[in-house]
A and B are shown apart, each in its own frame.
Chain A
Amino acid sequence: GEDVEQSLFLSVREGDSSVINCTYTDSSSTYLYWYKQEPGAGLQLLTYIFSNMDMKQDQRLTVLLNKKDKHLSLRIADTQTGDSAIYFCAESKGGGGSYIPTFGRGTSLIVHP
Chain B
Amino acid sequence: DVKVTQSSRYLVKRTGEKVFLECVQDMDHENMFWYRQDPGLGLRLIYFSYDVKMKEKGDIPEGYSVSREKKERFSLILESASTNQTSMYLCASSRPQRDTQYFGPGTRLTVL
By a beta-carbon cutoff of 8 Å, the part of chain A in contact with chain B is 8, 31, 33, 35, 40-45, 48, 88, 92, 94-96, 99-101, 103-106
Contact bitstring B35-68, A, C-beta under 8 A = 1, else 0: 0000011110100100000000000000000000
**Residues of chain B at interface, number, CB under 8 A:** 25
Q: Give the chain A neighbours of B104 by CB distance below 8 A.
A: 42
Does B74 sit within 8 A of A, measured CB to CB?
Answer: no
Cα of A99 to Cα of B99 in the assembled complex, Å: 5
Cα of A31 to Cα of B101 in the assembled complex, Å: 12
**The one of A43, A45, A106 that contacts B90, using a Cβ cutoff of 8 Å:** A43
State whether B43 touches A88 (Cβ < 8 A): yes
State whether A42 touches B103 (Cβ < 8 A): yes
Cα of A6 to Cα of B41 in the assembled complex, Å: 11
Number of A-B contacts (CB under 8 A): 55
State whether A101 touches B101 (Cβ < 8 A): yes
By a beta-carbon cutoff of 8 Å, the part of chain B in contact with chain A is 4, 9, 31, 33, 40-43, 45, 48, 90, 92, 94, 96-106, 108
* CB of A75 to closest CB in B, whole Å: 21
Q: Give the chain A neighbours of B99 by CB distance below 8 A.
A: 31, 33, 92, 94, 99-101
Which 5 pairs across A and B sit closest by C-beta, in order of nearness? A105-B42, A42-B103, A92-B99, A43-B103, A103-B43
Closest to A91 in B: B99
Closest to A95 in B: B97
* CB of A104 to closest CB in B, whole Å: 6
Closest to B107 in A: A42
State whether A99 touches B42 (Cβ < 8 A): no
* CB of A51 to closest CB in B, whole Å: 12
